[in-house]
């Protein structure tokens, strides 16, 4: 009975010693961790200079403001529709009447409409200059200009397409195309070649439908 008690005592002492060693190891690990944190703090202070803790630790959270999505796809769709609507292959002569003075009027309009345009009876309210633009750029710019001008209630505008003097072969690149594009725009009622003081053969004066 005594041997059994002695053996149990030794086992208990061994367990106590193991627990004490584990606790000592844990305390040493904690001491080393705090020592390392203190050393890192000192190194930080040496690197950035004296620091002072914030008085309040409360933080204000500013939620990110959502960025308004750009209607990129809609813009691409509108540009695509515009390119399709204004064709370079449109044959003016098959559907509409033009005269020898490069004027145009919708069917149902009398010749006095183009006559008044030639005489400058309509005041030019705005103009667009297509000089220096590529064909695709000019097509989209003209379509947008005509649409917005009509929506704003403008009735008479000027489209400058140039005489082609700087083009290869001195042949106008945009002149014929601009005429084709304009007759395809429902907003356009008529157009005539501009008077010499307003651009002559390098421009057109365009009459728009009422808004």
**197 and 109 in one domain?**
yes
Q: What is the pLDDT of residues 83-136, one digit of tens each?
A: 545 666 555 554 445 555 678 999 999 999 999 999 999 999 999 999 889 999
Residue 68 has pLDDT above 70, yes or no: no
**103 and 21 in one domain?**
no
User: What tokens appear for 65 in the block?
Assistant: 């403001």
Residue 29 sits in which domain range? 1-50
Question: In a 3-state reduction of DSSP, which class is residue 199?
Answer: coil
**186 and 107 in one domain?**
yes
**123 and 200 in one domain?**
yes
Distance from C-alpha of 139 to C-alpha of 85, rounded to nearest angstrom = 10
Question: In a 3-state reduction of DSSP, which class is residue 147?
Answer: helix
Average pLDDT over residues 20-49: 82
| Contact (Cβ atoms closer than 8 angstroms) between residue 208 and residue 150 | yes
| Per-residue pLDDT at 171 | 58
Whether 70 is in a domain gets the answer no
Whether 78 is in a domain gets the answer no
**132 and 29 in one domain?**
no
Q: What is the pLDDT of residues 28-38, one digit of tens each?
A: 888 888 888 88
Pick 28 or 41 by higher pLDDT: 28
Average pLDDT over residues 42-69: 69
**136 and 37 in one domain?**
no
Whether 79 is in a domain gets the answer no
Whether 42 is in a domain gets the answer yes
**23 and 102 in one domain?**
no
Q: Which of 74-78, 139-143, 161-165, 206-210 has the lowest mean pLDDT?
A: 74-78
Q: What is the mean pLDDT of the chain?
A: 80
**128 and 34 in one domain?**
no
Phi and psi angles of residue 190, each rounded to the nearest 5 degrees, phi first:
-165, 160
Distance from C-alpha of 44 to C-alpha of 38, rounded to nearest angstrom = 10
Nearest to 144, CA basis, from 128, 165, 156, 121? 128
| Per-residue pLDDT at 17 | 83
Q: Which of 67-76, 124-133, 143-152, 193-202 has the lowest mean pLDDT?
A: 67-76
| Per-residue pLDDT at 99 | 54
Q: What is the pTM of this model?
A: 0.55
**98 and 45 in one domain?**
no
**122 and 30 in one domain?**
no
Nearest to 176, CA basis, from 197, 188, 155, 193? 193
Distance from C-alpha of 198 to C-alpha of 18, rounded to nearest angstrom = 106
Residue 64 has pLDDT above 80, yes or no: no
**22 and 99 in one domain?**
no
Average pLDDT over residues 176-205: 91
| Contact (Cβ atoms closer than 8 angstroms) between residue 102 and residue 193 | yes
CATH of the domain at 166: 3.30.1370.110
Whether 192 is in a domain gets the answer yes
**202 and 123 in one domain?**
yes
Beta bridge mates, 128: 159
DSSP per residue, 14-48? HHHHHHHHHHHHHHHHHHHHHHHHHHHHHHHHHHH
In total, how many domains does the chain have?
Answer: 2
């Amino acid at each position: 009975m005594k041997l059994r008690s002695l053996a149990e005592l030794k086992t208990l002492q061994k367990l106590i010693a193991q627990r004490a060693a584990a606790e000592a190891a844990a305390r040493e690990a904690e001491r080393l961790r705090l020592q390392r944190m203190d050393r890192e703090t000192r190194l930080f202070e040496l690197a950035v200079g004296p620091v002072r803790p914030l008085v309040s630790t409360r933080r204000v959270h500013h939620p990110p403001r959502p960025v308004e999505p750009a209607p990129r796809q809609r813009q691409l769709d509108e540009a695509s529709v515009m390119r399709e609507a204004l064709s370079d292959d449109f044959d003016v002569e098959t559907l509409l009447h033009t005269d020898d003075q490069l004027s145009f009027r919708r069917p149902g309009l009398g010749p006095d409409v183009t006559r008044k345009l030639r005489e400058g009876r309509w005041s030019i309210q705005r103009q667009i200059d297509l000089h220096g633009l590529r064909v695709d750029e000019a097509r989209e710019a003209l379509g947008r200009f005509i649409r917005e001008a009509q929506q704003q209630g403008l009735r008479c505008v000027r489209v400058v397409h140039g005489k082609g003097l700087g083009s290869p072969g001195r042949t106008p690149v945009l002149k014929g195309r601009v005429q084709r594009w304009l007759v395809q725009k429902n907003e356009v009622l008529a157009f005539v070649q501009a008077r010499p003081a307003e651009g002559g053969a390098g421009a057109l004066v365009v009459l728009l439908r009422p808004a």
